[in-house]
Amino acid sequence: MGKLLVEDKTIVTPGEELAEGMDFLPAEGTFRDKDKIISSGLGLINVNGRVIKTIPVAGRYIPEKGDTIIAKVTNILMSGWILDIDSAYSAVLSVKEAKDFIRRDADLTRYYNIGDYIVTNIVMVTSQRLVDASMKDPGMRKLIGGRIIKVNSHKVPRIIGKRGSMVSMIKQATDCSITVGQNGLVWINGSPENEIIVVETIKKIEQEAHISGLTDRIKTFLEKKTNKKINIEKVE
Amino acid sequence: MNNQQKDHILNFFEKGIRFDGRKLDEYRKIKVEKGFSGNAEGSARVTIGDTIVLAGVKLSVGEPYPDTPDKGTMMINAELMPLSSPDFEPGPPAIQAIEIARVVDRGIRESGAIDTKKLCIKKEEKAWSVLIDICTLNEGGNLLDASALAVVAALQDTKMPSYNGKTVDYKKKTKETLPLNLKKMPTSCTVSKIGNYFIVDPTSEEEKKVEARLTIEVEEDGTLCALQKGGDKPLTAEDIDKMVGIGIEKSKELRKFL
Amino acid sequence: MSYTKRNDGRKFDETRSIEAKAGVIKRADGSAYFKMGKTVAYVAVYGPREIHPKFLQNPKKGKLRCYYNMMPFSSMGDRVRPGANRRAKEIAMVTEKALLPVVNLNDFPNSVVDVFIELPQTDAGTRCAGICAASMALADAGIPMNGMVAAVSMGRVDDKLVVDLDYSEESYEDGTVADIPIAIVSGTEEISLLQMDGELSRDELKQSIEIVKKACSKIDKIQRDALKKKYEVKNE
């Protein structure tokens, strides 16, 4: 016997009792205390059959292996670059992990200089949170021009959408290049008027990420702002 | 700041808009709330866009300065509270805070906005001390203008406490206001230069790209009562004249909030 | 003359009116506003972030660091000189201890979560208001927490036990006063802050704790409602 104590897809607070009964299984963001399942932070409760988890709605980015992020170069060493990834932890990009082959005595600032933004992958995170980055994969590059905005890293999946559908829709409507880092940094490049629409749209997604019907609302919003009809089939 | 990002912002300026869609000479939404504190003799909370600054006025009775025995005293202190930005650290006031306090102080002192002669209680012995504190609550750019506006609004909000000749009774507030000369009350407008463009009210992001800035404090009739140039790059005489013109123009708008 | 009626007409077990709001300081990772009667506390949380100086790092888990400050114009009476003083440091320390039981920083080795408490207006009960706001701000920042903390000052004014002392009661001159700030952890109802100033009997202490548990349970609901309210959609 089990009973859900809160409504699914609502915001729950730390220590709040989510369900009682041994039938339920506590997953991420929850823990069991005797016969109750309890939230271990502020989040959106998600019930899938017997599995209860919470999706975080706030919190700074925690680096994970495999993430593609946007990082800022903050320091240059003999062996590589130190990156600010907007987390409690900085990342290291060693010379051998840079995009192109770099000679031993090359001037590293000619590749990535302090203040430059790059798209890079996280390849390792140790238990002490030492983070290694690499730019070997295709698509990794230094970002030229454009502007960077910061969003809540937990909202990134909604901004990207299923198989990139949300961000593709925004790109189609505004003709802007957009790169979304898993760490919540977003690069936008296009005409000034369109960039402003992109920023407004992304902020709207951030605020309404936890409310259903988001894709349709954003589609309507974009069509109104750009006076363009958006073709969903064209969106890959 | 990265040169490419600076070029990108200039693309925007060329079209007469900024990253947040504002015009170059447009302030964000301004809100002035007087009297948020029941304990201070005067207080005001100013919001400009995301920037929030609190100012409070405390009055006490003390000895006048020996070189001005018939005048009351004024002191302004500013703190960039660590609560308001990830870049502010706890500890004694940073140089940025000291600059804000001193620039705002000069505007009020030099304009004669407070009639300090009327603050004298007994020549050489007793005079009112006006102690003003600026505390930032959220750093969103343009702390100086927000602080200056908050201080003036707090002074306008101030009511004198009762004084029986010996002690101040803070619990008994009178209806008497500070002796202020409203026409002299300064408004502050900081004009910033990025590339060849002038903007007002920069966001924190824009502030990082500012090359030079000029804070202009103006009385009601357009008389300048304080100036402060900041930033690493120098300004030409033409720049300064243009910036002063923008400052005087904008101060008319800001004055409406007092 | 014994204290038969409270100065502001409240019942003996009644707290002052409370106002709570989450997310009031945009630059912060989490923030809250908590007002109890005339005492107002703002709290901003920054973190997890890199800790300076480095020797304070704990390789096993993140550190919680609290700061408490009354703004110079916050009290009725003389201006409060700015700068850390011994009272502020002690309050910061007990605040940290009050919050630690609910906070889980195991995922953030070598980093710090900074909690800044500022009071623009005070009328006694400042450390309690600070703790209530801090608990909300930590949740708002997405810090993993298995509960929340509420706190209120119990008092003995003459022979009466009263909840949430205001300044007039704290400085009551017609009899003796004991000031007992207490913080309660939600769920377990354990006590994470207990201080006492004045004289109190063992029995009065026992009673005080029971009365505070009830008051804190009400405060707990206000804190949670405020956190959830932030995520309600404002209809455009």
pLDDT in tens, B96-144: 999 999 999 999 999 999 999 999 999 999 999 999 999 999 999 999 9
Do the Cβ atoms of B9 and A192 come within 8 Å?
no
DSSP letters of B35-65?
---SSSSEEEEEEETTEEEEEEEEEEEEPPP
> How, if at all, do strands A51-56 and A91-94 pair?
unpaired
Test mutation, A72, A112, A144, chain B, max B CBs within 10 A: A144
Do the Cβ atoms of C28 and B56 come within 8 Å?
no
Contacts of A11 in chain C (CB under 8 A): 227-228, 231
Q: What is the pLDDT of residues A175-204, one digit of tens each?
A: 999 999 999 999 999 999 999 999 999 999
Bridge partners of residue A43, in order along the sequence? A12, A56
Closest-CA residue to C169 (of C200, C160, C70, B41): C160
Q: Encoding tokens for residue A192?
A: 């000034």
Task: Provide the pLDDT confidence category of residue A234 given band limits of 50, 70 and 90.
Answer: low
Task: Provide the pLDDT confidence category of residue A236 given band limits of 50, 70 and 90.
Answer: very low
Chains that touch B (3 or more CB pairs under 8 A): A, C
CA distance B142 to chain A (A): 19
Contacts of A210 in chain C (CB under 8 A): 231
From the list A15, A33, A90, which residue is nearest C145 (CB)? A15
Task: Provide the pLDDT confidence category of residue C135 given band limits of 50, 70 and 90.
Answer: very high
pLDDT score at A166: 94
From the list A15, A88, A90, which residue is nearest C102 (CB)? A15
From the list A10, A38, A57, which residue is nearest C146 (CB)? A38
Contacts of A146 in chain B (CB under 8 A): 4-5, 8
Asked if the C-beta of B20 comes within 8 angstroms of chain A's C-beta atoms, the answer is: yes
Asked if the C-beta of B165 comes within 8 angstroms of chain C's C-beta atoms, the answer is: no
Whether omega for the bond prior to residue A63 falls within 30 degrees of 0, making it cis, is no
Q: Give me the mean pLDDT over the A105-116 stretch.
A: 90
Contacts of A58 in chain C (CB under 8 A): 29-30, 140-142
For the four alpha carbons of A55, A61, A66 and A70, in that order, the dihedral sign comes to positive
Return all residues near B190 (Cβ < 8 A) that are at least 6 apart.
Answer: B142, B144, B145, B200, B201, B213, B214, B215, B216
Q: Is B124 left (phi over 0), alpha (psi -120 to 50) or beta?
A: left
Q: Give me the mean pLDDT over the A154-172 stretch.
A: 94
Query: Which residue range is the domain that position B30 belongs to?
Result: 3-255
Contacts for A77-84: CB closer than 8 Å, 24+ residues apart = A80/A108, A81/A108, A81/A112, A83/A118, A83/A120, A83/A133
pLDDT score at C236: 43
Q: What is the pLDDT of residues B165-200, one digit of tens each?
A: 889 999 988 999 999 999 999 999 999 999 999 999
Angle formed at CA C90 by CA C88 and CA C92, multiple of 5 degrees: 70
pTM for the model: 0.95
With a cut of 80, say whether residue B2 has pLDDT above it. Answer: no
Q: What is the pLDDT of residues C180-231, one digit of tens each?
A: 999 999 999 999 999 999 999 999 999 999 999 999 999 999 999 999 999 8
Contacts for B253-256: CB closer than 8 Å, 24+ residues apart = B253/B27, B254/B27, B254/B30, B254/B145, B254/B149, B254/B187, B254/B188, B254/B189, B255/B187, B255/B220
CA distance B160 to chain A (A): 45
Closest-CA residue to C130 (of A42, B150, B83, A16): B83
Q: Encoding tokens for residue C13?
A: 């077990």
Q: What is the pLDDT of residues C13-63, one digit of tens each?
A: 999 999 999 999 999 999 999 999 999 999 999 999 999 888 989 999 999
Asked if the C-beta of C59 comes within 8 angstroms of chain A's C-beta atoms, the answer is: yes
Helices C126-140 & C202-229 angle (0-180, nearest 10): 40
pLDDT score at A103: 84
pLDDT score at C234: 61
Contacts of B171 in chain C (CB under 8 A): 76
With a cut of 80, say whether residue A231 has pLDDT above it. Answer: no
Phi and psi, residue B55, nearest 5°:
-130, 140
With a cut of 80, say whether residue B1 has pLDDT above it. Answer: no
Helices and strands, counts by H and E, chain B: 5, 12
pLDDT score at C52: 82
Q: What is the pLDDT of residues B48-102, one digit of tens each?
A: 999 999 999 999 999 999 999 999 999 999 999 999 999 999 999 999 999 999 9
CA distance B51 to chain C (A): 9
What percent of chain A lies above the pLDDT cut of 90?
A: 83
Q: Which residue of A has its CA nearest to C23?
A: A58
CA distance C107 to chain B (A): 21
pLDDT score at A1: 64
B-contacting residues of A 38-97, CB under 8 Å? none
pLDDT score at A179: 97
Phi and psi, residue C130, nearest 5°:
-60, -45
Asked if the C-beta of A59 comes within 8 angstroms of chain C's C-beta atoms, the answer is: yes
Separation CA B43–CA B34 (nearest Å): 6
Bridge partners of residue C156, in order along the sequence? C161, C178
Q: Is C91 helix (H, G, I), strand (E, B) or coil?
A: helix
Separation CA A221–CA A208 (nearest Å): 13
Q: What is the pLDDT of residues B3-54, one digit of tens each?
A: 667 789 999 999 999 999 999 999 999 999 999 999 999 999 999 999 999 9
Do the Cβ atoms of B84 and C25 come within 8 Å?
yes
Do the Cβ atoms of B81 and C116 come within 8 Å?
yes
Contacts of A15 in chain C (CB under 8 A): 102, 145-148, 186-187
Separation CA C157–CA C175 (nearest Å): 7
What percent of chain C lies above the pLDDT cut of 90?
A: 87
Chains that touch C (3 or more CB pairs under 8 A): A, B
Read off the CATH number of the domain in which B116 is found: 3.30.230.70
Q: Which residue of B has its CA nearest to C32?
A: B83
Q: Count up the domains in chain B and report the number.
A: 1
Do the Cβ atoms of C27 and B85 come within 8 Å?
yes
Contacts of B56 in chain C (CB under 8 A): 71-74, 120
Task: Provide the pLDDT confidence category of residue B257 given band limits of 50, 70 and 90.
Answer: very high
For chain C, domains (ranges, CATH) are 18-230 (3.30.230.70)
Do the Cβ atoms of A146 and B8 come within 8 Å?
yes
C-contacting residues of B 22-51, CB under 8 Å? 36-40, 43, 50
Test mutation, C31, C52, C105, C145, chain A, max A CBs within 10 A: C145
What DSSP state is assigned to residue B23? B
Q: Give me the mean pLDDT over the C124-147 stretch.
A: 97
Q: What is the pLDDT of residues A25-35, one digit of tens each?
A: 999 999 999 99
User: How much is the mean pLDDT over chain C?
Assistant: 94
pLDDT score at B6: 76
Contacts of C63 in chain A (CB under 8 A): none
From the list C67, C82, C83, which residue is nearest B82 (CB)? C67
Cβ atoms within 10 A of the Cβ of C82, count? Answer: 17
B258 against B154, higher pLDDT: B154
Do the Cβ atoms of A13 and C141 come within 8 Å?
no
Separation CA C65–CA C143 (nearest Å): 13
* Whether C34 contacts C118, CB under 8 Å: no
